[in-house]
Structure 1
Amino acid sequence: METQTCSVSSCSSNFAIHMLFVCVIIIFSSSMVASANFLKDIDHTWGGGDRVQILNNGEGIAIALDETSCSGFQSRNQYLFAKIDLQIKLVPGNSAGTVTAFYVSSKEEFHDEIDFEFLGRVEGDPYILQTNMFIHGVGKRETQFFLWFDPTTDFHNYTILWTPFHIVLSVDGIPIRELKNNKEKGAPFPMRQPMRIYGSLWNADSWATRGGAVKIDWTKGPFRAWFKNLRVDGCLWSDGNSNCTKSSTSWLSSTLDNESQQHMKWAHTNYMFYDYCTDTKRFPKGLPLEC
């Protein structure tokens, strides 16, 4: 995710690697399942006044962008691995230059982050969904899709699944991206830093729409996006340790089943138009290790 102005180690033996994953699985034997309340479980990070509106006693939230400020929120809790579902309805009309984001991010020394970013559009054009990941402080892992529906007319469900074995991003239950933990290749993977959940709506007209050629038309503002039904099934993190209280491990899976793989292939074939793992011009010295 672009910077917002608004603001293992290697084990010495196979036994050590095995024990690391055993410990992770033990952590997940007691995880927390919860529907978050936007009054009780979420802090507002940017924007105030009319820019942030709590809906239906905390079931949802609407956030706005105007010439003065962006808006955003974050979870009070941190998680080390989780399955997170959030329903979003995007800015309608001419949203060029704006970005609506749903992501998880760490605050430790080496930045980890997993993003859904919805790039604002000129009215009549399709929205672009960009996914990106920062791992150990390095990003530039973008994929881009056209969506197969209008994301401004109704809520759609977006899922971040982050386990010790892979990361899967899904839209309405259809996987669109998987990043496996390819430790055997020496590829980095977010394993040790807890993350919070974030949502935001912000000004990115330097790059978001047609490469930055189309700027925000402030006469169309304020721009507003809606979020609801945030559900978190994950391992709480507190004071440097996991703090899980309820058993739920059904989402902890090391592979996608055949049906899910076919759905992801469908999304890639029909709707993905950029994948950093095929961009040899961008990486002339070789693609990233995870590709």
Structure 2
Amino acid sequence: MHCFFPSWPHSLLGAVALCALVTAQTYTSCNPTAKSCPPDVGLPVPGYSIDFRNGPDNTHWLSVGMGSVTYMPNLGAAFTINKQGDSPTMETSWYFFFGRAEVHMRAAGGTGIVSCVVLESDDLDEIDWEWIGGEPHDVQTNYFGKGNTTTWDRGGKTPMGDTQWLTHNYTIDWTPSLVTWYIDGAVVRTLAYKDALGGHNFPQTPMRLKLGIWAGGDSKNPNGTIDWAGGVTNYTQGPFTMYVESVSVTNLNPAASYLYSDLSGSWTSISMSNATIGPMPSQVPKPKPVGKSGGGQGREKGAEKEDNEHKTGITSDEEPFATHMTWTVPGNASPADFAGHPNSGDDGNHDTTTTRASAGHPTEPTNIISEGSTLTTQFGLVWVLGVAIFTLGMMAVA
């Protein structure tokens, strides 16, 4: 099932539109497989992270649902349903193009209540985490390609520890050849490109991250949706709250914008403006369990922050390229918190290029941005020249 964040209508026409949306379960303001669309704003650095226990980041997150999100020092962003029609939802103001989305959170309880973490693109590629309020020891995973809902056999369910009173690390790792879902550092599901209708249904276009909660069990929803959500929601038993402590995103293809150059919806059609060198997949560390307990046990509700709570962004045993920039923002962030942002003190004059994703059948990339990326070539030539000089020097000494 799709995660669907409804904005409840106040007219007959709106009610008809809502029914259509519930049926389709997805929506895009401009589908680039149907017509030419404006470019998507990109995440122009390899890493972004935010700890919502320190407050909001209103610059890089947009509120798109009904109801508000509040912030608590020990719990993070609180997405609460108080009454019928509430569906507090946030989405990033930018897109990323392959990489990783890591969310530390607790799902909401309550019959018919659905908590969601969604990656979604303009052409309705989608990768999901979904939690049903009446199933506190399960999490569902799903994916869609180009909004294809002709079959509903792509969903999966994973039994686990308590999802509502323990904070867990839910991670989606996304490359041109493979999607991997992790819980507390353990792989729970994989999807290969070839296994998604020969790649046609494989999510492969720039995504934005969405976080939210909605009442799938609302009595106005279709019976199939209510049944999937676990039954009719009784709002008098609320409020129902999902908590998100922190989020980090790794972008394998940092760029100022992403443009669909044709109507194919293929990742090879994406043109990137002001692209910079992204991390290699091997440089992105594996996700880890939350808290000191490890072993997928999560952290108890209300537990104190860990000592390493401010260690955000891209980290690994090996240093990434010297050109990497990691965007780590505090609560109440402003555009100036990003090096190279038009409103920052940085003049933004980095080595950049406008390039297009490498053509050919998707494989595990050594570096997805390869064509036209002169920076990578320059580093390689400098390294070879250095080795040659060192070798000649050693021969002269001998």
After superposition, the Cα gap between the structure-2 partners of 1:207 and 1:64, relative to the gap in structure 1 and judged at 3 Å, is: farther
Aligned pair partner of 2:280 in 245, 249, 259 = 249
Q: Is the 8 A contact 2:176 2:204 kept in 1?
A: no
Aligned pair partner of 1:151 in 147, 163, 168 = 163
Deviations 1:207-233, CA, capped at 9 Å, x for gaps: 567646621121111211111220011
Q: CA deviation at 1:155?
A: 1.1
Distance 1:81 1:247 in 2: 10
Deviations 1:11-67, CA, capped at 9 Å, x for gaps: xxxxxxxxxxxxxxxxxxx9611213641321111133xx3113459x941111131
Partner of residue 288, structure 1: none
Report % sequence identity: 22
**Aligned: 1:115 with 2:128:** yes
When the two structures are superposed, what TM-score results if normalisation uses the length of structure 2?
Answer: 0.50
| Matched residue SS, 1:216 | coil
Gaps spanning 5+ residues in structure 1: where?
8-29, 257-266, 268-291
Aligned pair partner of 1:33 in 16, 39, 47 = 47
Distance 1:34 1:245 in 2: 15
Q: Which has the higher contact order (CA 8 A, sep 6+)?
A: 1
Distance 1:213 1:165 in 2: 34
Distance 2:230 2:168 in 1: 28
Q: How many residues get paired?
A: 222
Aligned pair partner of 1:96 in 111, 117, 136 = 111
After superposition, the Cα gap between the structure-2 partners of 1:79 and 1:212, relative to the gap in structure 1 and judged at 3 Å, is: closer
After superposition, the Cα gap between the structure-2 partners of 1:247 and 1:3, relative to the gap in structure 1 and judged at 3 Å, is: closer
After superposition, the Cα gap between the structure-2 partners of 1:191 and 1:3, relative to the gap in structure 1 and judged at 3 Å, is: closer
Amino acid at match of 1:130: Q
Deviations 1:104-138, CA, capped at 9 Å, x for gaps: 00123xx20000000110xxx64431111111221
Aligned pair partner of 1:64 in 55, 80, 87 = 80
Partner of residue 44, structure 1: 63
**CA RMSD of superposed structures (Å):** 3.1
When the two structures are superposed, what TM-score results if normalisation uses the length of structure 1?
Answer: 0.67
After superposition, the Cα gap between the structure-2 partners of 1:151 and 1:213, relative to the gap in structure 1 and judged at 3 Å, is: closer
Partner of residue 179, structure 1: 191
Q: Is the radius of gyration larger for structure 1 or structure 2?
A: 2
Distance 1:213 1:168 in 2: 27
Gaps spanning 5+ residues in structure 2: where?
9-43, 218-222, 260-270, 287-295, 297-398
Distance 2:225 2:132 in 1: 6
